């Protein structure tokens, strides 16, 4: 036996003992490179705080056994993550080899995120494994910047003990105020606060797209000042200002506040991400029981349903000195077996992990995944068929901030048409300066 054959045999035995995987030395799982060429490398990973990624981090021993690569994770709350990502881009020192970011932050940071299309082609990985909206969220100007490992469709959660038949349209939601009889509970919790993360656009997009309108015109200019777009925005804020079906604190609410309102029994409905579901059932944070919580697809507006999807991809920093090892990590981290396991196994290394987030089409349609999560993936898959994402342009954070501020002021009683028109004028100046307007 040659030395190379001996080492391969040792590798296979090690993998079998350490991970329980039945593999040969020439065929590692997840398209990983055999022979541990990066043995001893240590990767620094920047990630948002979430039980989903706790589950991945706790499984990283498998990755180290397969590759010899060690990982150290740094978890940052979402509210501080954008600032941290921006600082990493400015520092350009490769402190973190792999970074986790919100999809709309990708374009302004694309210059230091490594495109992975050639690596995927080499290793037989396709973005077709993800729903189209999720795949687009990790791409910019025809290049794939990472894998959408945390991604969310929108669903409407409601109290089954208070609402027998959930509304199927936003017009139905607006009409609920007329005969609502629960004095201490508002029909719905929304979030209009201009929080710096543009969260008040998440539901607004359902109205805009439902009306058949777009964020930008074909020539690159702001498109939200058409009559139909203005009416859609007026109808959105009217849930608070006119129909009074939104919790009266919705003007001050960010997404987290709206979730708390629902969990604490102050609001009977909330539109939002599917990951809310696990928290709504958690007795440490919620007053609700599983039996009280229902969910359906997002309501239609003007006869059409088109919801917003979001993702938080993982990408490789071009400033990293360990880019090849980081690619091995992304292959392992994004594999479909991991996706399924992390949504069905409720304990990892003695720690409880409650997570219903999956991103692969196979997982969304998987019977075991759905059985473990009350079929929320089935509902989400239907929603994702008609979902879209935020505009993927480098100027979007600046433009989106203008929109977010205008909508917050409109929800506070301001003149919606004037506010949106002013925001469009300011946005067009930004877009013209950037060469976006044709």
How do residues 170-226 score in pLDDT, each as one tens digit? Answer: 999 999 988 899 989 999 999 999 988 899 999 999 999 999 999 999 999 999 999
Whether 46 contacts 100, CB under 8 Å: yes
Chain mean pLDDT for the chain? 92
Q: Looking at the predicted structure, is the pLDDT value of residue 15 above 60?
A: no
CA quadruple 171, 174, 176, 182: dihedral positive or negative?
Answer: positive
pLDDT band at residue 26 under the 50/70/90 scheme: low
Q: Is 320 left (phi over 0), alpha (psi -120 to 50) or beta?
A: beta
3-class DSSP state of 20: coil
| Integer CA distances (angstroms), 374 to 146, 368, 380, in order | 29, 10, 12
3-class DSSP state of 45: strand
Residue 390: inside a domain, yes or no? no
Alpha-carbon torsion, ordered 93, 98, 100, 103, to 10 deg: 90
Residues 223 and 265 in one domain: yes
Residue 143: inside a domain, yes or no? yes
Residue 321: inside a domain, yes or no? yes
Residues 236 and 258 in one domain: yes
Residue 256: inside a domain, yes or no? yes
Which tokens sit at 330?
């992304």
Whether 336 contacts 362, CB under 8 Å: yes
H-assigned helices in 117-177: 117-123, 132-137, 170-175
Residues 97 and 164 in one domain: no
pTM score, whole prediction? 0.83
Q: Looking at the predicted structure, is the pLDDT value of residue 417 above 70?
A: yes
The number of domains in the chain is: 2
Which tokens sit at 174?
């607006």
Residues 66 and 120 in one domain: yes
Structural domain span for residue 415? 154-308+395-433
Residues 146 and 160 in one domain: no
Q: Looking at the predicted structure, is the pLDDT value of residue 2 above 90?
A: no
Alpha-carbon torsion, ordered 4, 10, 15, 21, to 10 deg: 90
Residue 330: inside a domain, yes or no? yes
Residues 97 and 17 in one domain: yes
Percent of the chain exceeding pLDDT 90 equals 86
Residues 281 and 301 in one domain: yes
- CATH number of the domain that 289 lies in? 3.40.190.10
Residues 166 and 304 in one domain: yes
pLDDT band at residue 13 under the 50/70/90 scheme: very low
Which of 262, 236, 230 lies closest to 249, judged by CA?
Answer: 262
Residues 106 and 179 in one domain: no
Residue 59: inside a domain, yes or no? yes
Give pLDDT tens digits for 48-103. Answer: 999 999 999 999 999 999 999 999 999 999 989 999 999 999 999 999 999 999 99
Residues 39 and 116 in one domain: yes
Give the DSSP H/E element, type plus range, for residue 228. Answer: helix 227-241
Residue 389: inside a domain, yes or no? no
Residues 348 and 429 in one domain: no
> CA-based angle 418:305:156, to the nearest 5?
95
Q: Looking at the predicted structure, is the pLDDT value of residue 27 above 90?
A: no
Q: Looking at the predicted structure, is the pLDDT value of residue 250 above 60?
A: yes
pLDDT band at residue 379 under the 50/70/90 scheme: confident
Q: Look at residue 195 in the predicted model and tell me its pLDDT.
A: 87
CA quadruple 55, 253, 299, 284: dihedral positive or negative?
Answer: positive
Q: Looking at the predicted structure, is the pLDDT value of residue 8 above 60?
A: no
Give the DSSP H/E element, type plus range, for residue 146. Answer: strand 146-152
Residue 369: inside a domain, yes or no? yes
pLDDT band at residue 278 under the 50/70/90 scheme: confident
Q: Look at residue 30 in the predicted model and tell me its pLDDT.
A: 94
Q: Look at residue 196 in the predicted model and tell me its pLDDT.
A: 83
Q: Look at residue 197 in the predicted model and tell me its pLDDT.
A: 82
Q: Look at residue 382 in the predicted model and tell me its pLDDT.
A: 82
| Least confident interval from 11-20, 212-221, 252-261, 263-272 | 11-20
pLDDT band at residue 118 under the 50/70/90 scheme: very high
Whether 241 contacts 235, CB under 8 Å: no
| Integer CA distances (angstroms), 309 to 134, 159, 240, in order | 7, 23, 24
Residues 164 and 142 in one domain: no
| Least confident interval from 144-148, 276-280, 318-322 | 276-280
Which of 391, 45, 7 lies closest to 222, judged by CA?
Answer: 391
Q: Phi first, then psi: what are they for 149, rounded to 5°?
A: -80, -25
Percent of the chain exceeding pLDDT 70 equals 94
């Amino acid at each position: 036996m040659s030395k190379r054959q001996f080492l391969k045999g040792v590798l296979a035995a090690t993998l079998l003992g350490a991970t329980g995987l039945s593999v040969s030395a020439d065929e590692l799982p997840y398209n990983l490179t055999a022979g541990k060429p990066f043995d001893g490398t240590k990767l620094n990973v920047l990630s948002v705080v979430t039980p989903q990624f706790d589950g991945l981090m706790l499984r990283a021993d498998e990755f180290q056994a397969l590759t010899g690569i060690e990982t150290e994770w740094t978890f940052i709350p979402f509210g501080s993550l954008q600032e941290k990502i921006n600082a990493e881009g400015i520092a350009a020192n490769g402190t973190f080899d792999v970074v986790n970011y919100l999809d709309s932050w990708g374009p302004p940071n694309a210059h230091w995120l490594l495109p992975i299309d050639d690596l995927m082609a080499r290793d037989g990985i396709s973005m077709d494994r993800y729903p189209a909206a999720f795949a687009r969220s990790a791409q910019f100007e025809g290049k794939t910047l990472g894998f959408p490992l945390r991604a969310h469709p929108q669903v409407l959660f409601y109290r089954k003990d208070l609402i027998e038949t959930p509304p199927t349209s936003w017009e139905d939601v607006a009409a609920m105020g007329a005969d609502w009889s629960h004095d201490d509970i508002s029909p719905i919790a929304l979030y209009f606060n201009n929080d710096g993360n543009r969260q008040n656009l998440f539901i607004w997009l359902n109205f805009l797209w439902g009306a058949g309108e777009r964020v930008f015109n074909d020539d690159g200019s702001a498109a939200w000042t058409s009559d139909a777009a203005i009416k859609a925005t007026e109808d959105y804020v009217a849930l608070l200002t006119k129909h009074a079906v939104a919790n009266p604190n919705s003007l001050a609410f960010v997404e987290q506040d709206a979730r708390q309102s629902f969990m604490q029994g102050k609001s009977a409905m909330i539109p939002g991400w599917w990951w809310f579901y696990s928290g709504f059932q958690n007795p440490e944070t919620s007053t609700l029981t599983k039996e009280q919580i229902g969910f359906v697809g997002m309501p239609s507006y003007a006869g059409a349903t088109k919801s917003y999807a979001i993702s938080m991809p993982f990408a490789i920093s071009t400033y990293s000195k360990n880019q090849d090892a980081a690619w091995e990590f992304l292959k392992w981290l994004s594999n479909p077996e991991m996706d399924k396991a992390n949504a069905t196994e409720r304990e990892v290394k003695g720690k409880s992990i409650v997570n219903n987030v999956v991103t692969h089409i196979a997982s969304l349609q998987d019977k075991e995944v759905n059985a473990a999560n009350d079929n929320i993936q089935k509902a989400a898959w239907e929603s994702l068929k008609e979902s879209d994402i935020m505009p993927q342009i480098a100027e979007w954070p600046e433009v989106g901030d203008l929109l977010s501020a205008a909508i917050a002021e409109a929800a506070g009683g301001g003149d919606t048409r004037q506010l949106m028109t002013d925001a469009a004028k300011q946005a067009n100046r930004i877009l013209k300066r950037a060469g976006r307007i044709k």
